[in-house]
Amino acid sequence: MKKEYEELDELIYLAKNNQEMAKVRLIEKLSPLIKSSIKKYCPIYLHYEDLYQDGIVIILECLELYDEEKANFLAMAKSYLKYHYIETLKYLKNIEKDISKTDEEEDIVNLISSKENIEEEFIFYEEVEFLKKKLEILTLRQRDILLMYYYEKLSHKEIAQKLNISKWTVVNTKRRALEKLKEVYNVD
């Protein structure tokens, strides 16, 4: 046991003097301490990788702050890890509360995992805008009839009732509007 502490003290000394391999070996030796601190003080395993990386950073910060005359390195590292993970747990719990409080706002995870395809929706609205511009050459009645027929999926009879005109007026107006669009945009 005494030999392990002597080896640890030597690693700390070498790492404190910026020997990179000593830092790597020190992190490997203290890896069980980091893992047990996560398990004990911040057991949110969804964030385990981030928590572990935080632990490595804490050990390296302790190495920079360490003064062998004032403290024991291992005690210092344990204390820093403990308080870091306790504070992290509080932070993560507060974030979860904030997310659950906002019923009106959809969080980004729900948007990403929803069945809606954002790209398809964007393309659809682009096409609608394109068609709106193309329909500007038509009269107001022609536009209304085309929109009701193709977008609202109303029958000729339903459109006639809605506009208070005859069914045949709807048919002829729709036909003229389509002919006009084909003529202007050279569509056969």
Task: Report the C-alpha gap between 104 and 97 in whole angstroms.
Answer: 14
Q: What's the mean pLDDT in 66-81?
A: 86
- Asked if pLDDT for residue 164 goes beyond 90, the answer is yes
Domain shared by 92 and 141, yes or no: no
User: Quick one: pLDDT at residue 44?
Assistant: 79
Q: What's the angle, vertex CA 73, arms to CA 68 and CA 5, rounded to 5?
A: 95
Say whether both 146 and 92 belong to one domain.
no
Residues 125-141 have a mean pLDDT of 78
Per-residue model confidence as pLDDT tens digits over 88-119: 888 877 776 655 555 445 555 555 555 556 67
Q: How far apart are CA 99 and CA 86, in angstroms?
A: 20
Q: In this structure, how many other beta carbons lie within 10 angstroms of the beta carbon of residue 35? A: 14
Structure tokens, 14: 């070498």
State the average pLDDT over residues 134-157: 87
For 52-63, b/e burial (b = at least 16 CB within 10 A) is eebbeebbeebb
Within 10 Å of residue 40's Cβ, how many Cβ atoms?
Answer: 12
Range of the domain at 129: 118-184
In a domain, 107, yes or no: no
Residue 56 CB contacts under 8 Å (≥ 6 apart), including other chains: 27, 34
Q: What is the mean pLDDT of the chain?
A: 81
Q: Which of 134, 126, 138 is nearest to 185 (CA)?
A: 134
Residue 28 lies in a domain: yes
Whether residues 94 and 125 share a domain: the answer is no
pLDDT score of 57: 92
Q: What tokens were used for 80?
A: 């820093």
In this predicted structure, the answer to whether residue 5 has a pLDDT above a threshold of 50 is yes
Domain count, the chain: 2
- In 3D space, the residue among 46, 40, 43, 14 whose CA is nearest the CA of residue 27 turns out to be 14
Answer yes or no: do 79 and 34 share one domain.
yes
What is the arithmetic mean of pLDDT over 32-52? 86
In a domain, 109, yes or no: no
166 compared with 105, residue with greater pLDDT: 166
Q: In the prediction, which pLDDT does 170 show?
A: 92
* Helix (H) or strand (E) run with residue 169 in it: helix 167-184
